[in-house]
Amino acid sequence: MLMSEKSKQHADACRFCWMCHHICPIGNASGHERSTPRARALGISLVNRGAIELEEIMDNIYECVGCGACVHDCVTGWDPVMFTKETRLLAALDGKLPDYISKLVENCLNTGNAYGKTEIDSELCDAVKAHSEKTDTLLLLGADARYMVPNQAVKAIRVLEKAGVKFTVLADEPATGAQLDFLIGAANETKEQMLACAKVMSEYKAVVIYDPQDAKAIKQTYKAYGVEYSAEALTYTSFVAKLLKDGKLEAKHSDKGVTLQDPCQLSRDLDESEDAREIVMSYAVLGEMLLNRKETVWAGNILTAQYMPEIIKKVSERRIFNAKSVGADTIVTASVSEYAALRAVATDVEIISIEDLILG
């Protein structure tokens, strides 16, 4: 495998280190040592030394969900996400992707989303049509909301309507490239999707990004890949927090006690953990989970549940256990994908989104 010297160096540094293995949500859910950052590094270093074949570690390579908990925890600055993403890219270039990943990649290339969906739900379709007129502000819903959780996409639109914002939603929204980036890293196909999205974004003054995974890609990865756009890119939570601050949304505070699930892309990658809190505290009483803000624990998503559903269920159940441990019976989410993952397993805990809080 023709891995860069930088990734080789990081994998070799991690391969016998145990310091962060307890914080990996996948390792903790599976209970398997092989799911941890150091075991993934060991596998990669064995491939780099010609001791085993790349195909032998590919399932393990896709167990990493890129939550960045290990990277954040590493006091010596090594980066398991970097060498994992590079291994995915090299496997893609070498035709060694597992079949279940090739299918998702094919869907991204054919339909712009990993799920292969081409139609959106009728209620969402009507809500989108009502905002087809060109304005200065684009609301980018993202693949998960549009195709997998359309009721949340409608709520995201309703919140901005409630605040009197003039905005556009596109019927043929471009793929942001975030899903391809997760699946095959910095491939040409990923960059092409990102460039096409950046071109559309540049037709607007501001772009409000609903899905934190897309926000991370647009605000961070585009820059790393040299993809430029002229619009101001804003996360949905920062935009809504400002609407509240400016009095465009009138909050009705209640005594309802809730806890917040920090999306790792907002709190860890983009350093935006307070906007979601300000929104929640305007409507309810916030109690913090033990691991919050930058220390948040990823609570599952829709994309990885396509190929490891049982592990993702356990990940979500474990995060609900964290919430119950501080006496919370309601978890507020700021990520549409975590909303779906947590709701899929919640039994005695209520899962609501920040849109639910605002719309009442």
CB 46 within 8 A of CB 19: no
Give dist(CA 297, CA 181) in Å, integer. Answer: 21
Residue 10 burial by Cβ neighbours in a 10 Å radius (0-12, 13-18, 19+): buried
The correct pick among 29, 57, 67, 148 for binding ligand SF4 (CB under 6 A) is: 67
Residue 38 or 96: which CB sits closer to ligand SF4?
38
177 lies in the binding site for ligand SF4 (CB under 6 A): no
Nearer to ligand SF4, 42 or 231 (CB): 42
* CB-count burial class (<10 Å; 0-12, 13-18, 19+) for 97: buried
**Of the ranges 75-83, 95-103, 197-205, 252-260, which one interacts with ligand SF4 (CB under 6 A)?**
75-83
74 binds ligand SF4 (CB under 6 A): yes
Backbone angles phi, psi at 204, to 5 degrees: -125, 160
Q: Are strands 330-333 and 257-261 parallel, antiparallel or unpaired?
A: parallel
Continuous segment of H or E residues that includes residue 140: strand 137-140
Question: In angstroms, rounded to a whole number, what is the distance separating the alpha carbons of residues 205 and 201?
Answer: 8
Residue 197 pairs with which residues in a beta bridge? none
Nearer to ligand SF4, 70 or 340 (CB): 70
Instruction: Select 176 or 301, whichever has its Cβ closest to ligand SF4.
Output: 301
What is the nearest approach in angstroms of ligand SF4 to the Cβ of residue 245?
33
CB of 298 to ligand SF4, least distance (A): 6
Task: List the interface residues with ligand SF4, window 5-34 (CB under 6 A).
Answer: 13-14, 17, 19-20, 23-26
The first and second tokens of residue 125, run together, are 């379709």
Shortest distance (Å) from residue 9 CB to ligand SF4: 11
The reply on whether position 69 binds ligand SF4 by CB under 6 A is yes
- Exposed, middle or buried by CB within 10 Å (0-12, 13-18, 19+), for 210? buried
- Residue 305 as a binder of ligand SF4 (CB under 6 A): the answer is no
Complex with ligand SF4: residue 73 or 203, whichever CB lies closer: 73
* Binding residue for ligand SF4, selected from 37, 43, 177, 300, defined by CB under 6 A: 37
Residues in the chain: 360
Q: What is the number of other CB atoms lying within 10 angstroms of the CB of residue 16?
A: 10
Number of residues that bind ligand SF4 (CB under 6 A): 24
In Å, what is the CA distance from 232 to each residue of 145, 223, 236, 297? 21, 14, 12, 29
What string of DSSP letters covers 31-43? --GGGSHHHHHHH
Q: State in angstroms the smallest separation of the CB of 3 from ligand SF4.
A: 16
Considering only 44, 48, 57, 66, the residue that binds ligand SF4 (CB under 6 A) is 66
Q: Which is nearer to ligand SF4, 14 or 124 (CB)?
A: 14
Residues 276-295 touching ligand SF4, rule: CB under 6 A, are none
Shortest spacing between CB 15 and ligand SF4, in angstroms: 8
Residue among 45, 50, 25 nearest 35 (CA): 25
Please tell me whether residue 341 binds ligand SF4 under the rule CB under 6 A.
no
Q: Choose, by CB under 6 A, the member of 1, 48, 57, 78 that binds ligand SF4.
A: 78
One of 43, 68, 150, 263 touching ligand SF4 (CB under 6 A)? 68
Question: How far apart are alpha carbons 235 and 354 in whole angstroms?
Answer: 13
Q: Which residues bind ligand SF4 (CB under 6 A)?
A: 13-14, 17, 19-20, 23-26, 37-38, 64-70, 73-74, 76, 78, 80-81
